[in-house]
A and B are shown apart, each in its own frame.
Chain A
Amino acid sequence: MTIPSIDDSIFVQRFARQPSIVSILPVKMTISGLIFDIQRFSVHDGPGIRTTVFLKGCSLRCFWCHNPEGLRMTPEVQFLPNRCLTCGECVVACGHDGQHLDEDGRSFERQHCVACGSCVEACVAEALTLAGKRMTAEAVVAEVMRDRVFYETSGGGVTLSGGEPALQPEFSAAILAQSKAEGLHTAIETCGQVPWASLEALLAVTDLVMMDLKQVDTEKHHAATGAGNERILANARQLALTRKPLVFRTPVVPGVNDTAAEIGAIAAFVRELVSLRAISSNGNGPADISWELLPFHRLAADKYRSLGLEYRARDLNPPPKDQMAVLTEAALASGVAVRAN
């Protein structure tokens, strides 16, 4: 199976119609959402020591995505055949003919699976796991608060990532609002491919926005991610007009944006954002916009396999150090401050 296209997910349309209701929600109302991981001691997703909550479901399909379990909007079973003991417990546990063990060997028939999780519970080898768990915002925040002392000593907090947090705007807003009420620093990582209203609604409870910029050429963007970049660039401009600290991030991916010209074009766009903000703020306060280049890493092969997805980036090589240096040069030449990681 290849990566499901965006068009088969109804959520984009659904949330596109969603008005900006989240900012007026009472904080304590019980809202639940779908997440696929909560990672403590997260140190690359904003200032200080953080906990990153990964929300499930994304509106882009970047072929190199290193969190493929975050793409779909529904829970799904991951199967790692190399851990399987062929004990057959999952076969007994499944009421939907999803798990097979016979002369032909062991197979997982994803098309029958309704992601009920019974086989996952029965599997002692942890060859079967469930990506996607419904949690209330309160439960998420309770988990996040376990590391409060670390946020205090480091100036850290919580980051919502994904997937795309703005695709579950009420849930995200509730987590962020409750975290803020606890005094935490809050951040979101967005791909930008969401209605402005959904993003805007989160800003009141977000201290830092991190957003991807992958390509300024919309055709190329479409080829790489399954969608054009018009909405993303528009949202970036909208964000520049606010006073929120912004970090733009460019994953440097071979064939997608790894030439000096392409990085230079992104740099020019970032420069435009910086001046937009300078004009809109009338020279008041710092233009708190920064930009980072992150080399692509080929680490997700196992995850793609476990999800029955094709890993189209499997033969790509991470950009070597000297190439990253050249690209950083190109970025700096456009007069924009950039940090390469």
Chain B
Amino acid sequence: MPTLLVQPTAFTLAARYEALRATKMAHTAEKWQVVGAMNHDDWGLILPPPDDQEIVQAMSGSGVMINDVRLKDIPIERNHPGGGSYGPVAVGRSFRALLDRHPVYVDPASSLAGATMVNFMSYRKQHWNPDLDYSHLHAEQRKYQIHSGIGGAQHFCPDLAIGLELGYGGLLQKIAYYREVNAPEHDGFYAGLADVVMGTQDWIRRHAEAARQMAAAEAQPEVRRNLEEIAEMNDRLATEPPATFREACQWILWYLVTARMYDGSGATGRLDLLLLPYYERDTAAGILSDDDAAFHVACLLLRDTGYIQLGGPDAAGHDVTNPVSYLILEASHRLKIPANVGVCVGDSTDPGLLKRGVEIMFEDRLGNPKFLGVDRTTEGFARNGYPLELSRQRAYSGCHWLALPGTEYTLNDIVKINLAAVFEVALSEMLSESTHPSIAELWERFAAHLRRAVEVTAEGIDFHLKHMGDVFPELVLDLLCYGPIERGLDASAGGVDYYNMCVDASALATVADSFAACAHWVEGERRLTAHGLTAHGLTAHGLTWAQLKGYLESDWAGDDGERARLLMKKAPRYGHGGTIADDYAARIAQLFTELVKEKPTPAGFNMIPGLFSWASMIAMGKEIGATPNGRHAGGPISHGPNPDPGFRKDGAPTALAVAVAAVQPGYGNTGPLQMDMDPGLGRDAEGIEKVAALIRAHFALGGTQINLNVMDKRTILEAHKDPSKYPDLVVRVTGFSAYFASLSPEFRQIVVDRIVSEG
């Protein structure tokens, strides 16, 4: 039996929830000790047994360096002199070798087996094959701090329905069938896919065997029965498709944990639709109660924090909200751990889902669920030239993103342009080259550089699409897409039907406020009416471009620098409403949108603009010098499309919601609103209704997605001082949620600043 398991006091559902949560806390505490800070999703990952651990630095699926714990001695097939493992054959064999060595995980308190303990990516030392050179893009990628997405994995959505229908046996047959049809082409690709399936099957069988052995040794009859059921169920699921609700949850879990292990994928999609037939069948047959169904879902959510959409339209536009939608919401509520459940809010969507969602949000204070402006993303996606019937099927399945399950490849959330870097290039160029700098000239230069940044990004996307299939094909996600098996092509390489490449912009508020501060204090009317110089060598009402240059270069050094910094910070801010900064934010968002939509990539792929920084505000700010909005050199950039904290004295959520709605690019990708609220607001039905109204209004104004936290200032400040006192405090950091104590101190500070100024 795995270590750290907490046994339920009795074999009731309530006690089992309790035990599962306690086990989760024990696992999390162990991770804090071994791994340290984790500024990313809580993946539901648990650590390998202590004697089988080794710690390495690794790049996460989202492109940040993390401390990673892996299993020792995995025989990775390295087929490159540099030590890399590339192409479907080597990757498939290596992943199978990992699965073969991966410990089993059976918790007698749970109704499902299986857990991920490692990232396969940690073993692939150099992710990108160095023979595929893109050094011609390096200089400009660095200049504009572009996250190119080259070599980035997953971040699109498989269709679980394929797997639920075929099971692993059926998938293996499908692979064999098309391998023959397409022979001798793509044989290596098929070999890789088959290795993944066979590795998974063996792993499932080992779980069945372990459960059987645990059952034999178990004295308590109910526990023994549960273990026997797990054994029987998994004997079948190694080859057969699931037949019951519980089996469907178990099958989905197998798929999600292998996808997670393979390359970090957490794309789940419309779980309420996927589980509905099983729910209907089992309840009609009298073999499933709602409480049991919620428990099975909770056991699934416990082991994978995948991104789930609840409710929303079907292809014809009819709302699909059903009893399972509520059960999933309830399961996350009963479990009370980080989860990424999204609730649709739309004209035709059941409003009860929103109401229940807000109630849970205030009752649990775990940043769960999040809210999806499904009508806006549907209309927006159609603007790319797709029919509404197709747009409606695009499902929420990642941090801030949506994808068509099984038919679309996107690179969502991993291609980003740092607007602050583009602005910095434009400003320093102007200040060093121009004899008469002006705000108009600054805008011109900014626009020109942004255009170039978008072009460079597009070239990077083409490069990725051209080679990714040969470097690191999506051997797990390909299984549940329409096309890769049929055509023998990886999803990144023509396997699926739609290619809509994500391009996000970060640091909107940093740049909008910088433009506004320059316009206001450097050449605004105030400066023209200034009454002379003061003792500090500044005009009382502004400063010159030359002075600004000096202050930025010295990072606002000295008393005068600090005064100048405060002056610049006092300028109108984006988010206040009706200010010059609000205008700049809208102009920048519009410019960015136009540049991304102006033309496809050189190879002809559609790009879709979004506004997001993920959790990279700290990393993206590190290399940026002081900015005219009063930000210090190296300080974090602003968060997604949000205004910076302190944008308004009252921090009014309505002002925030109006501001973020006004900058949406509008092509189906999102600019999520991050909002933090005081718990007092939801203390009665009236307050819940007001929050629901606020959410509806943001979407009516054009908003696309809302990440909400309910948190009182005192708790968050105390937790910041001593996180260990609040081990189960969960915050929605951005599109994902995590334990507050898991975040680095620097990162916690960002969350605290936001909550204290807005909450």
Interface residues of A (CB under 8 A from B): 37, 39-41, 43, 47-49, 85, 87-89, 92-93, 121-122, 124-126, 143, 146-147, 149-150, 152-156
Residues of B within 8 Å of A121, CB to CB, are 541
Distance from A202 Cβ to chain B, minimum over Cβ atoms (Å): 25
The reply to whether B658 and A147 contact each other, CB–CB distance below 8 Å, is yes
Complex contact A87–B652 (CB within 8 A):
no
A150-B694, A152-B697 known; A41 vs B652 contact (CB < 8 Å): yes
- Of A39, A122, A150, which is within 8 A of B650 by CB? A39
A149-B697, A149-B701, A153-B693 given; A40·B570 CB < 8 A? no
A222 to B249, CA, bound (A): 70
A251 CB → nearest B CB, Å: 17
CB nearest neighbor in A for B655: A40
Known contacts A41-B654, A49-B654; A89 and B534 CB within 8 A of each other: yes
What are 13 inter-chain pairs, A to B, with CB distance below 8 A?
A39-B650, A40-B655, A41-B655, A47-B686, A85-B563, A88-B535, A126-B566, A147-B658, A150-B657, A153-B696, A153-B700, A154-B689, A154-B690
For A155, list chain B residues within 8 Å (CB): 693
Q: What is the distance, in angstroms, from B582's C-beta to the closest C-beta of chain A? A: 10
Contacts A41-B652, A88-B535 given; does A146 touch B577 at CB 8 Å: yes
Give bound CA distance, A41 to B657, whole Å.
Answer: 11
Nearest neighbor of A92 in chain B, beta-carbon distance: B534
A-B contacts besides A147-B658, A155-B693, 13 pairs, CB < 8 Å: A39-B650, A40-B655, A41-B694, A43-B681, A48-B690, A87-B559, A89-B563, A122-B540, A126-B570, A143-B577, A146-B658, A150-B654, A154-B694
| CA of A328 to CA of B578, assembled, Å | 44
Q: Is the CB of B693 within 8 A of A150?
A: yes
- Describe A's contact surface by its main secondary structure: mixed
Q: Bin chain B's interface residue count.
A: 20 to 34
**Known contacts A49-B694, A88-B535, A92-B540; is-contact A41 B650 (Cβ 8 Å):** yes
Q: Is the CB of B652 within 8 A of A39?
A: yes
Check if B34 is an interface residue, CB within 8 A of chain A: no
**Interface status of B6 (Cβ within 8 A of chain A):** no
Contact, CB under 8 Å: B540 / A146: no
B725 contacts A by Cβ under 8 Å: no
How far apart are the CA atoms of A336 and B663 in the complex, in Å? Answer: 50
Given A87-B563, A122-B540, A124-B567 in contact, is the A48-B534 Cβ separation under 8 Å?
Answer: no
Please report the C-alpha to C-alpha distance between residue A92 and residue B657 in the assembled complex, in whole angstroms: 40
A-facing residues in B548-592 (Cβ within 8 Å): 559, 562-563, 566-567, 569-570, 577-578
User: Within the complex, which residue of B534, B536, B654 is in contact with A147, where a contact is CB–CB below 8 Å?
Assistant: B654
B693-721 contacts to A, CB under 8 A, are: 693-694, 696-697, 700-701
With A40-B654, A154-B694 as contacts: A124 and B563 at CB distance below 8 Å: yes
| B524 part of interface (Cβ distance < 8 Å) | no
B653 within 8 A of A: yes
Across the interface, which residues of A come within 8 angstroms of B658, CB to CB? 146-147
Which of B567, B569, B694 gathers most chain A CB within 10 Å?
B694
Whether the pair A43, B690 counts as a contact (CB closer than 8 A) is yes
Please pick, from B535, B578, B681, the residue contacting A146 in the complex, using a CB distance under 8 A. B578
Report Cα–Cα, A119/B686, bound state, in Å: 43
Known: A152-B697, A153-B700. A89 touches B540 (CB 8 A): yes
In whole Å, how far is A129's beta carbon from the nearest beta carbon of chain B? 9
CB contacts (< 8 Å) of B700 on chain A: these are 149, 152-153
Do A150 and B563 touch (CB < 8 A)? no
Given A147-B658, A153-B696, are A87 and B650 neighbors across the interface (CB < 8 Å)? Answer: no
Residues of A contacting B701 in the complex (Cβ-Cβ under 8 angstroms) = 149
| CB-based nearest B residue for A122 | B540
Contact of B693 among A87, A124, A146, A154 (CB under 8 A): A154
B578 x A49 contact (CB < 8 A):
no
CA distance A152 to B696 in the complex (A): 10
Say yes or no: A40-B650 contact (C-beta < 8 A), given A121-B541, A147-B658, A153-B693: yes
Q: Which residues of B contact A37 (CB under 8 A)?
A: 650
Q: Is B687 an interface residue (CB 8 A)?
A: yes
Chain B, residue nearest A154 (CB)? B693
**Across the A-B interface, the 7 shortest Cβ-Cβ residue pairs:** A154-B693, A40-B652, A124-B566, A153-B693, A41-B652, A41-B654, A149-B697
